[in-house]
Every structure is written in C-alpha cells, then in structure tokens.
Amino acid sequence: MRTTLLASAAALALGTAASAQVVGFSQIGSESGWRAAETTVTQQEAEARGLQLQFSDAQQKQENQIAAVRSFIAQGVDAILLAPVVATGWDAVLEEAAEAEIPVVLLDRMVDSDPSLYLTAVGSDLVHEGEVAGEWLAGQVGDQPCRVVELQGTTGSSPAIDRAQGFRDGIEGHANIEIVQSQTGDFTRAQGKTVMEAFLQAENGGADICALYAHNDDMAVGAIQAIKEAGLKPGEDILVVSIDAVPDIFQAMAAGEANATVELTPNMAGPAFDALQAYWDAGTEPPKFIQTESRLYTQADDPQAEYDRRKGLGY
Ligand code: AHR
C-alpha cells in the first residue's frame, strides 16, 4: 500500500497520471442514427471515467469484428466491448479472449455462445420491444382487417430475430392482422426505402397496406419517403410503427407521418463500464444480462419536444 501511495505521489509530482485502463470497442458500423449515438455515448462515457478507448469500426462485417477482437487480445487490453453484428460464429474468438483472461462485454446485441465466454451483456429485451409494437398496432386497428408489411433488421442479428418474434407475439389472437410482406432492409434508411418501394408495388400501389412495422426507425424514415413518393400519406393511409426513438422519427411523428416508436437507449456503455470497474476493483461478477429500459412513444407524447431534447445527443 505504502509503495502504491508513493508511486501515485511520484506520478502526480511528475505531472503524469497512473496509466488508464484500455478498453477495445468493436463496433458494428454506422448503419443507423441509433448506432452513431451509441458510438458517441460510448466515447463520452469512456472519457468521463478516464478510460482509454480503442475504437474499431467493422463496416457491418463479422470478419472485421473478429480481426479487431484478435488485435485487442494481442495488444493485451484490459477489457473488450463487442456489439456483435450477427448472433452466431463467435465461439472461437471469445474462447481466445477468455484464455487471455480479458473480460468481454456484449453491447446491444446477443450471441449464441456459452455465457461463460463473456462477462456480461448490456441490452434491452428485444422480444419485448417487438411485442410492444405489435400490441400498439392491435390496439389501434381494433377488429378492422389490417395487412402489415415488415422491414426486418440485418439477417441473423439478434434484434432482427427477436423483434420479428416479439411482434408476432404482440398480434397473436388478432386474426384480422396479417403480415403479408416481410423482408430485410439491413437496418439502413436507403434499404428501408428500396424495400418499401417493392412492397408498395406488390400491394396494389400501397392501397392494400394498412401498416408498416420496421425493426428500426431509420428503415421507417426511408419507407416514409417511399410512401410519400407513391402518393400516399404515411401515418394516415399507412400506419408506421418502429423501434429506437431517434430524433428523426420524432420529427416524422410531429409531422403526422409516423405513429409510434419503442425506445432503445444508446447508453449501453455506462452500465458496461460500471460492471467492468467493479470487476477490475474487486472481481465482482455482474449478472449475465444487464437490461436497459424500453418505452413506447406515440404522437400523444409531444414528439416535437422529444426531437428537441434528443437532437444534440450524437444521433
Ligand atoms: O442492435 C440495435 C439495433 O442496431 C438498432 O435498433 C438499430 O438501429 C441498429 O442498427
């Protein structure tokens, strides 16, 4: 203890701080406004705690993420944050991190590996998010027939799998609601628009569509553009419900062009760093899943105020 105190005092006298913990962050990419906000918030949370963050953008490719994690292991970082683009194929690299005794924390998406291979996962209940969206739609349409088109997230990713399941759970027992088209838009605005154009064409120019369910807001925003270009009113002719609660969807809601969104907080890093600090300090094992809150916003929730509140937050 005396040696440590003396070392700290010497470091201060020399004007240097004790070396910061180094955390490698393998991020998926920047496919959505939500993803950009998660990156910004992670950098801010690391800076606020005096952690040194090594950032790697995988450009949506799992092989890039695996290479980044291997490079973090080779550098001997103190921890790794991993936002896994898809759910499968992580066993080998997670085993390598475990062998090197580097704790791995999963952010916002899950993997199908054995939980012993990571310290904890921070994320929302992705099935619940889809269920909330489905229940909202069921409440809106009552017993009217409703043909739904679905824009799915990245194929093989845990949010695409779970949000699809959750929505189906939410509309269960409502035989009047039918999912008539379902395709991936890869969580991007551009693909959301392109796939919605195909849906509109296949569904009588959109006249046969009652509602759009998009696995994220960015795809919904792209689809809203396609609906407008087809001469229809999004939010009225076609109901729009999606997930994330990014500023742009609140702007669309304020304009009456979107109806509801389920919030996903971009601050996954705060709880992740808290868990890591306790682990570094005292070896405290966190629970295997640290759940963040999800809540529904509709046009009744003052979307303009929500937009103003969020627009400077890094989305
Ligand atoms: O994993 C979370 C999802 O990934 C967000 O809902 C989406 O916007 C992002 O691309």
Q: How much of the chain exceeds pLDDT 90, in percent?
A: 93
Distance 34 CA to ligand 1 centre (A): 6
The dotted CATH code for 126-263+298-310 is: 3.40.50.2300
Structure confidence by residue, pLDDT tens digits, 219-247:
999 999 999 999 999 999 999 999 999 99
Residue 2: pLDDT band with limits 50, 70, 90 = very low
Closest ligand 1 atom to residue 157 Cα is 1
Q: Would you say domain 2-123+265-284 falls under CATH 2.60.40.790?
A: no
Residue-level pLDDT at 299? 97
Pocket of ligand 1 (CB under 6 A): 31-32, 34-35, 108-109, 159, 187, 216, 218, 243-244, 264
Distance 143 CA to ligand 1 centre (A): 32
Distance 178 CA to ligand 1 centre (A): 25
pTM: 0.94
Distance 251 CA to ligand 1 centre (A): 19
Residue 59: pLDDT band with limits 50, 70, 90 = very high
Residue with the bigger pLDDT between 4 and 116: it is 116
Residue-level pLDDT at 19? 79
Mean of pLDDT over the chain: 94
Domains 2-123+265-284 and 126-263+298-310 share a fold: yes
State which of 126, 157, 264 you would mutate to test the pocket of ligand 1, scoring each by most atoms of that ligand within 8 A of its C-beta: 264
State which of 40, 162, 216 you would mutate to test the pocket of ligand 1, scoring each by most atoms of that ligand within 8 A of its C-beta: 216
Q: For residues 64 and 193, what is the distance between their CA atoms, to the nearest angstrom?
A: 27
Query: Residue 179: pLDDT above 80?
Result: yes
Residue 293: pLDDT band with limits 50, 70, 90 = very high
How open is the CA angle 92-264-240, to the nearest 5 degrees?
120
3-state SS, residue 29: coil
DSSP code of 238? B
Structure confidence by residue, pLDDT tens digits, 67-103:
999 999 999 999 999 999 999 999 999 999 999 999 9
Q: Taking the domains of the chain in order of start, what are their residue ranges?
A: 2-123+265-284, 126-263+298-310
Query: Residue 9: pLDDT above 90?
Result: no
Question: Distance between the two ends of the chain, CA-based, in angstroms?
Answer: 44
Q: Which residue has the tokens 């405290």?
A: 284
Query: Once rounded to an integer, what is the mean pLDDT over residues 56-65?
Result: 98
Buried b (16+ CB within 10 A) or exposed e, 29-60: bebbbbbbbbbebbebbbeebebebbebbbeb
Residue-level pLDDT at 18? 60
